[in-house]
Structure 1
Amino acid sequence: MAASLLSHEVSDLCLGKPPLKSLSTSTTVRHALTALNSSSDTHISIWTCNHHHLSDQSLVDHCLCVGKVCMVDIICYLCKEDNITSPSSALDSPVSVLLSPDSAVVRHVEPHTCLVEAIELIINGAQNLVVPISSRTTMNSKRKQIPHQESSIAPTTHAGGVEFCWLTQEDVIRFLLSSIALFSPTAAYSVEFLGIIDSDVVTVNYHSPASTALEAIMTSLADQTSVAVTDNNGILIGEISPFTLSFCDETAAAAIATLSAGDLMAYIDCGGPPEDIIRLVETRLKQRNLTGMLEEFSVYSSGISLINCNSSSSSLSSDDEFASSPVTMKSGRYGRSSSYSARITRMAEAIVCYPGSSLVAVMIQAIAHRVSYVWVIEEDCSIVGIVRFSGMLEVFRAHLESMVS
Structure 2
Amino acid sequence: MAVRILNGDVSELCLGKPELTCVSASSTISDALTALRTSGDSQLSVWMCCAGDIAINNGSCVCVGKFCMADVILFLCREENLADPFKALESPVSDILPNGSPIVRHLQQNSSLLDAIDSILEGTQNLVIPIQNHYTTNSRKSFPNRPPPPSTCTHHKDHKYCWLTQEDVVRFLLNSLGAFSPIPTFTIDSLNITDHDIMTVTYNEPASSALPYFHRALIEQTSIAVVDEQNRLIGEISPFALSCSNETAAGAITALSAVDLMIYIECARPPEDLVQLVKTRLRERNLVGMVEMIDEFLHALAFSSSSSCSSDDESGSSWLRGGSGRNYSARRSEAIVCGPRSSLVAVMIQALAHRVSCVWVVDEGYSVVGAVTFAGILKVFGNVAGGRHNKSEDNSLKK
Question: TM bucket by the smaller chain?
Answer: 0.7 to 0.9
Deviations 1:46-98 (A, max 9, x none): 1112458x9998x32x2111111211111011011111001011111121111
Note the C-alpha offset of 1:338.
11
Asked if 1:81 is matched to 2:79, the reply is yes
Note the C-alpha offset of 1:165.
0.7
Give me the whole-angstrom Cα distance separating, in 1, the residues matched to 2:67 and 2:41.
11
Structure with more of its chain in helix, by fraction: 2
Partner residue, 1:314: none
Contact 1:10 1:113 in 2 (8 A): yes
Contact 1:249 1:306 in 2 (8 A): no
Contact 2:246 2:322 in 1 (8 A): no
Alignment of 1:323-338 (within 5 A): 332-333=318-319
Partner residue, 2:191: 194
Contact 2:14 2:162 in 1 (8 A): yes
Contact 1:197 1:376 in 2 (8 A): yes
Note the C-alpha offset of 1:180.
0.6
User: What is the aligned counterpart of 2:336 among 351, 359, 376?
Assistant: 351
Give me the whole-angstrom Cα distance separating, in 2, the residues matched to 1:56 and 1:70.
21
Note the C-alpha offset of 1:392.
0.8
Give me the whole-angstrom Cα distance separating, in 2, the residues matched to 1:217 and 1:305.
29
Partner residue, 2:296: 299
Partner residue, 2:310: none
Give me the whole-angstrom Cα distance separating, in 1, the residues matched to 2:155 and 2:238.
34
Give me the whole-angstrom Cα distance separating, in 1, the residues matched to 2:281 and 2:174.
48
Contact 1:209 1:258 in 2 (8 A): yes
Give me the whole-angstrom Cα distance separating, in 1, the residues matched to 2:227 and 2:84.
32
Note the C-alpha offset of 1:156.
2.1
Partner residue, 1:66: 64
Partner residue, 1:105: 103
Partner residue, 1:322: none
Partner residue, 2:308: none
Deviations 1:286-325 (A, max 9, x none): 22221111111012344635997xxxxxxxxxxxxxxxxx
Contact 1:247 1:331 in 2 (8 A): no
Query: TM-score with structure 1 length normalisation?
Result: 0.87
Contact 1:129 1:166 in 2 (8 A): yes
Distance 1:89 1:331, change over 3 A: same
User: What is the aligned counterpart of 1:117 among 115, 118, 141?
Assistant: 115
Give me the whole-angstrom Cα distance separating, in 2, the residues matched to 1:192 and 1:203.
21
User: What is the aligned counterpart of 2:264 among 257, 263, 267?
Assistant: 267
Query: Across the two proteins, how many residue pairs are aligned to each other?
Result: 379
Contact 1:145 1:159 in 2 (8 A): no
Distance 1:289 1:40, change over 3 A: same
Note the C-alpha offset of 1:278.
1.5
More RCO (CA 8 Å, sep 6+): 2
Note the C-alpha offset of 1:124.
1.0
Partner residue, 1:130: 128
Note the C-alpha offset of 1:143.
3.9
Distance 1:17 1:256, change over 3 A: same
Give me the whole-angstrom Cα distance separating, in 2, the residues matched to 1:79 and 1:66.
23
Runs of 5+ in structure 1 lacking a partner?
A: 309-327
Partner residue, 1:229: 226
Partner residue, 1:392: 377
Query: TM-score with structure 2 length normalisation?
Result: 0.88
Question: Counterpart amino acid of 2:231?
Answer: G
Contact 1:67 1:106 in 2 (8 A): yes
Give me the whole-angstrom Cα distance separating, in 1, the residues matched to 2:239 and 2:315.
12
Give me the whole-angstrom Cα distance separating, in 2, the residues matched to 1:387 and 1:30.
35
Question: Counterpart amino acid of 2:318?
Answer: G
SS at match of 1:397: helix
Partner residue, 1:24: 24
SS at match of 2:131: strand
Contact 2:6 2:114 in 1 (8 A): yes
Note the C-alpha offset of 1:343.
1.9
Task: Let me know the Cα RMSD of the aligned residues.
Answer: 2.7
Question: Counterpart amino acid of 1:17?
Answer: K
Note the C-alpha offset of 1:189.
0.7
Identity among equivalent pairs (%):
46
SS at match of 1:160: helix
Contact 2:83 2:288 in 1 (8 A): yes
Runs of 5+ in structure 2 lacking a partner?
A: 306-313, 392-399
Distance 1:82 1:334, change over 3 A: closer
Contact 2:86 2:289 in 1 (8 A): yes
Give me the whole-angstrom Cα distance separating, in 2, the residues matched to 1:336 and 1:268.
10
Contact 1:330 1:341 in 2 (8 A): no
Deviating 4+ runs (over 6 angstroms): 54-57, 334-339
Question: Counterpart amino acid of 1:63?
Answer: C
SS at match of 2:98: coil
Note the C-alpha offset of 1:187.
0.7
Asked if 1:178 is matched to 2:175, the reply is yes
Contact 1:111 1:131 in 2 (8 A): yes
Give me the whole-angstrom Cα distance separating, in 1, the residues matched to 2:66 and 2:46.
5
